[in-house]
Amino acid sequence: MLLVIDVGNTNIVVGAFDGEKLVKNWRISTDYKKSSDEIGMLLVQLLRHNNIETDKIDDVIISSVVPQMMFSLERAVKRYLNREPMIISNDIKTGINILYDNPKEVGADRIVNAVAVRRHYPGNAIIIDFGTATTFCALTESGNYLGGVICPGIKISLDALIERTAKLPKIEIVRPKNVIGTNTVESMQSGMVYGYAGQIENIVRLMKSQMPEDTKVIATGGIASLISQVTDAIDILDSHLTLKGLKALYDMNK
């Protein structure tokens, strides 16, 4: 089995592939203060809770946008899974031609998503990843990574709103019953959900104006399913896109 690990600023997503099939996946909080022993024991517990013994893990691949996590995570994998992990870096084979002014600035998660789209949804694409930041990536059918857009994620925006106002409460980010809220909580939920959907629609519209007509929009990440309910801008929803990208990269580089 292959264990794939994607380290984001807020969450670490872990998946176990048996051949081409993603059999299990987990989401845990990113905490770079955790020791390698804590991380290792957590990985072992997750696997064993799902009846996967550590000796069933043949290889491990890791993508990370949090450098502070890498020493402890790599050490945990080596010590508790007895495997030398493959790390996504600038010199790994991806099949993606990055046209950024400085290709090294492109986050590993964005490249992993692009690889997944090329394998599973070939063609011209805009990839939206709803994470701590919301990223938009423009990818051509031939594998040219044109660039993209980076926005504050919806939770960052909500946290800033609450922090900078004296009377607004903490709320759950869910779709309200109506756009016109009849209380503070519903009004805030409407602003977050529909306001964010409007931002998505406008950015997608502007990006498509610079891309071929057949460009499709693929979304992934924490709130992708929520936003896809309130906008027609998203064509494909794939919550496991990054994990699939890591599997594809492993196959290309093993």
Catalytic residues: 109
Cα(39)–Cα(32) distance, rounded to whole angstroms? Answer: 10
Cα(130)–Cα(231) distance, rounded to whole angstroms? Answer: 14
| Residue 26 structure tokens | 């987990």
| Residue 99 structure tokens | 């046209």
Nearest CA to 234 out of 201, 211, 187, 208 is that of 201
Q: Is 59 helix (H, G, I), strand (E, B) or coil?
A: strand
Relative orientation angle of helices 108-120 and 241-253, to the nearest 10 degrees: 90
CB 116 within 8 A of CB 221: no
Place of tokens 């870096």: 89
Amino acid found at 223: I
